[in-house]
Structure 1
């Protein structure tokens, strides 16, 4: 049964209801299938959310469907297309095929679209039956943004027909403009440097919005693959949606990049942000989660006056993927075109991820990776050190101490109680390696000092809340700190003093200059000197400034590997055939008598409590959101 939105039901003559539907951060999640575990997953996928899109279109007199970027990378299907099948001229990428089937109206480019290089990106976009826009990534910068040579069109003016409240049809010009964080030049330097340049998002918007108006755009929608943060702006800011909304002429903001929901409490307290009404600087805005978990929805009541359309009322919300009451392989009629579009790529991806590469004698999981060294991270570090030693042999750096930094990509958090690595002992396939290392970053090695190493670890130690000695049942983990920024460094030993406040906040800004959580930092049993030099293995994201780690910047790079970190892990396993990863227990929490903390992880962690038998940890029930809670005596 179709129930019209009140804007559609109550629109009068020369008034129309226009619904904007957003997907964002799909990351090649087309089917409801988890390739890492090799089983169906009804909580993800464009095919699953197609029925919701269909229903939302039916509930409105007029609607448009947009994607806010990061659609081309992020699942084994994306890696299979990029690394195995490739994109020849005329090939159709499966995510583009799926979006064509759903009849998207427009999309923008996210930062992860560049992960496989410009040629791959442009060949993939060539198959899109909808415009893809981005105003601040250009082939050549000139005196003004509007004179730049664009990589893709900076904006598109869509000529559409809307139906008003009495059924009359009206022509309308809707401008759509796109943006991506300028930091992409750091994050994908090897693909972009010398090939493209970026402009500040606000600078580009201020230049292009007047031009769009001059060319007849009556409404302007910003597809901003950039998050929501403080309204104060600076050159090259990553998350600009609030500042963007302040620009005159923009009518609605579709935001993304942060994998969060807006409207919603994640952004409480920010000036200019109304998390209840879903507005930024008074304008409607949304952010629709990730992987197809939600849709962003903006309903506009627009009115024509003096030959121009304007917004007179608006509503914003997010719509979760509806529960699927049938078996995973059954879909509604509106999902079947999406399924047909990717069926062959899905079958080929399954063959790709099931390919064997070796064996492990030890289970590899990340259930306790935030409270103790674990075998899954040890495998990553061992592979990185093995590769680094080969690459630096007979170089000027081969006598310096070698370290390796790795972080758990899947450790609960926003991904929920199933968002963990869990690879049983036995055969290892490519899907398992993708599970151990989620992103296709490339290998980097940096030369850093002992002081920079200390600050690097201080940055990582922001994972934890400050714990007060003698108090019981304190929450251990800082919910604002992503696990992929919890770098564990192998090759040194150290302790983390939780009684100290974090030296840096969750964004890497120094907030407590006198605080020091990292103690007893030693290399081969000797205290690390501030001027001592080390070579540390990491990845392209971290080495290019991702996470704002002290010492992790391009000038410190001594080696850029041609291989992804995943490829390094696969080669390491192939070389050794059977691996025996273990934990060297190189870091721990400083003792704190009569003090307990609470740590949340997956219920599956109960099976592996023996892996951390050196800790005083006991089960303490479950949380409302499905995590298992454990109590740790420090």
Structure 2
């Protein structure tokens, strides 16, 4: 197998894509493999969707507004044109279709699936001519019965070689599987001379073994999982014996170069090394491959050519943002075929101009029609209460006192991580939660605050609590690192002079999303001290300690004691440059977004109590006060603030109200 010199040909640019769609001109630009194949050569294009997460419509249900960056209806609109560029082609899906937005929750929790019903995402996919699909980890979120009912409506087979009905056999090929491990698709391909020949394509699927942790309540005693690479090594020879000319792995598993280990979550790099596999379709990580940045510097990975251990691979983003393409030039040698060249690409449905999103494609009308009833029902669902709050959720004072909008995020994170870690090596460690206010004025303006009244909470209100599609992660750190985490957060504030009145409180240039509050400990912030770290996490005042009286369970925190801190992937991965917090501290990377966890928590609790527990406050400095700004609506909430004395100080700038913090 050789690497093509055509890895980034001009015909793959957005302009030529649009020209290739050429409704006006009818022009179709063939891939060079199709245009120049010899008499014994054929071009085969593999098309991948992955991590659709029920996003059929280009719509953000949390924000209750259209979104140009997502939707299978958008991805679908380029499939016909992309097929036309190829000599021969087929389409597969790489998993995570049933859960991930409120339509998925509506189908599982509200409407349900009766015998004969077809899930709307499956109904849409049936129109696109998929050859096969594999399972993603999120297929299991609603239980096995729901998954089987949903997938039974597909007009194409599902394959998964490492999900078993019970204990693992000594030989993986003897495992009792829920699905066929693979399927062999027989195609008639046209070569460069116009002659046709048979081609048998083997498609084998894999799911992350970690579903047994992530969905233990749905799977315990009912299923088991096997290591991805182990299963592949056993089944690929069987596929060869059954006549597969070409073997493509549908791997709902990402790319991790830290070294092969048993039951890896992101095993696609090592899966590519299995003899007999010709191409790997990846997913799960919600990233784009080939592409820059995400996978640079990993041995065995070429993020420009799109190869894993020299074999073609692709990851097509998420939510329909891209269509993954692997183009193979096949050569017939007697009765067998071999790959002699290839290109890979993840083709987007949009681009950005001056930070604005510009759609490259339009909706495919029949795909929208297929899911329209459920889309409209989902809109009603997200606008309908799914729980109640016993207290208002607002962020007007989140930067000066413990805050209910941050409190509820921490409560949900702690509820979730308790389930996730209960059967792990970290189950006995104390767990803390870090969360920050996202909507806290600033450049967003005087109305840019969370404001949900007590009473009914609708799903779309969760977007008011948690703006970003982050995923839950947990890190293991010690008590000294917990303190440094809080010291970094305390950089939000200016240093105050004791005894001086009406000083500016909030430091310019410090984003509110980096002001983490850690629940599970109690502490005070002494603003007579300078900030210990600058905004880049550099130690600038070694003698300074703003965080005082830091306690765990009522006792001074032990600097050497280990803690688990649940947060989000941005912070756990080093976002905000918090000292000592980086990817090497991560012990758990969840498949779920923080927003989904909050929705599940509200659904589970029925009525939530987000009242701030006053676990932190700014330390008293007699005779000292400071000014800060907030939204005008904050005036009516002053009396409800715990742990801080606040006074109305008149009008602020640009529509803000001015307040005085009396210390």
> Do the structures match in fold with TM over 0.5?
yes
Q: Please name the residue that 1:336 is paired with.
A: 365
User: Whole-Å Cα distance in 1 between the matches of residues 165 and 633 of structure 2?
Assistant: 52
- The Cα shift of 1:574 comes to 4.7
Change in Cα spacing, 1:56 to 1:456, as seen in structure 2 (3 Å) is farther
Q: Is the 8 A contact 2:350 2:359 kept in 1?
A: no
- How much does 1:297 deviate? 1.1
Which segment drifts farther, 349-358 or 52-61?
Answer: 349-358
2:318 maps to what in 1?
A: 290
Please state how far the C-alpha of 1:23 moved relative to its aligned partner. Answer: 1.1
Residues 353-502 of structure 1 correspond to what in structure 2 (within 5 A)? 353-356=382-385, 361=392, 363=394, 375-381=404-410, 405=433, 407=435, 423-426=450-453, 428-433=457-462, 436=465, 454=479, 457=482, 488-493=518-523, 498=533
Which of 181, 184, 189 is matched with 2:216 structurally?
A: 189
Question: Are the equivalent residues in 1 in contact too, given 2:433–2:520 (CA < 8 A)?
Answer: yes
C-alpha change, 1:186 and 1:162, in structure 2 (3 Å) is: same
1:32 aligns with 2:32: no
| Distance in 2 between residues matched to 1:65 and 1:462, nearest whole Å | 51
Q: How does 1:66-145 map to 2 (within 5 A)?
A: 66-140=92-166, 141-145=168-172
CA displacement at 1:372 relative to structure 2: 10
Other-structure match for 2:72 = 46
1:488 deviates by: 3.8
Q: Which residue of 1 aligns with 2:36?
A: 10
How many equivalent pairs are there?
523
Q: Which residue of 2 aligns with 1:58?
A: 84
Q: How far does the alpha carbon of each residue in 1:350-396 deviate from its partner, in whole angstroms, 9 at most, with x for none?
A: 11111145687554599x99x997653223346789999xxxxxxxx
Q: Deviations 1:100-143 (Å, cap 9, x if unpaired)? A: 11111111111111111111111111001111111111113212
| Structure 1 position 264 matched with structure 2 position 294 | no
CA contact (8 A) 2:162 2:226 kept: yes
1:22 to partner: Cα distance: 1.1
| 1:204 maps to 2:231 | yes
Counterpart selection for 2:339 from 285, 305, 311: 311
Gaps of 5+ in 1: 389-401, 412-416, 467-472, 478-482, 503-515, 540-546, 554-562, 589-604, 615-634
Match of 1:255 in 2: 282
Contact 1:373 1:587 in 2 (8 A): no
Cα distance in 2 between the residues matched to 1:462 and 1:320: 41
The aligned residue for residue 153 of structure 1 is: 180
TM-score (norm 1): 0.70
The residue matched to 2:130 in structure 1 has which SS? coil
Cα separation, partners in 2 of 1:409 and 1:166, compared to 1, 3 Å:
farther
Q: 1:435 Cα deviation (Å)? A: 6.3
CA distance in 2, matches of 1:7, 1:534: 55
Distance 1:567 1:235, change over 3 A: closer
**2:49·2:92 contact (CA, 8 Å) conserved in 1?**
yes
Secondary structure in structure 1 of the residue aligned to 2:38 = coil
Q: Which residue of 1 aligns with 2:249?
A: 222
Counterpart in the other structure of 2:579: none
Would the aligned equivalents of 1:49 and 1:321 in 2 still touch at CA under 8 Å? yes
**Aligned mates of 2:464, 2:520 — CA distance in 1:** 20
Given the superposition, is the C-alpha separation of residues 51 and 565 from structure 1 closer, same or farther in structure 2, using an over 3 Å criterion?
Answer: closer
Shift in Å, 1:269: 0.6
Q: Contact 2:477/2:563 (CA < 8 Å) preserved in 1?
A: no
| Pair 1:530–1:217, CA change in 2 (3 A) | same
> For the pair shown, which has the larger CA radius of gyration, 1 or 2?
2
1:183 offset after TM fit, Å? 1.3
Cα separation, 2, equivalents of 1:301 and 1:176:
18
Which consecutive unaligned segments of at least 5 residues does structure 2 have?
1-26, 418-429, 492-506, 526-530, 538-544, 569-582, 590-595, 620-629, 639-643, 646-663
1:556-583 Cα deviation digits (max 9, x unpaired): xxxxxxx97535435768577xx77698
Corresponding residue number in structure 2 for 1:246? 273
Query: How far, CA to CA, are the matches of 2:488 and 2:182 in structure 1?
Result: 40
CA RMSD across the alignment: 5.1
User: CA 1:102–1:435 in structure 2 vs 1: closer, same or farther (change >3 Å)?
Assistant: farther
Instruction: Summarize deviations over 1:141-197 as a string: whole Å, max 9, x none.
Output: 212110001111111111111111122222111000111111111111111111100
Encode CA deviations 1:294-334: one digit per residue, 9 max, x unaligned: 11111100111120111110001111104699x999985x8
Q: How far off is 1:274 after superposition?
A: 0.9
- Partner of residue 349, structure 1: 378
**Contact kept in structure 1, 2:521 and 2:550, CA below 8 Å:** no
| Distance across 1 between alignment mates of 2:533 and 2:112 | 48
The structural deviation recorded for 1:69 is 1.1
The normalised TM-score by structure 2 is 0.67
**Residues 4 and 453 of structure 1, relative CA distance in 2, 3 Å threshold:** same
Indicate conservation of the 8 Å contact 1:380/1:569, yes or no: no
- Residue 41 of structure 1 contacts residue 328 of structure 1 at CA under 8 Å; is this kept in 2? no
Aligned with 2:302 (options 241, 255, 274): 274
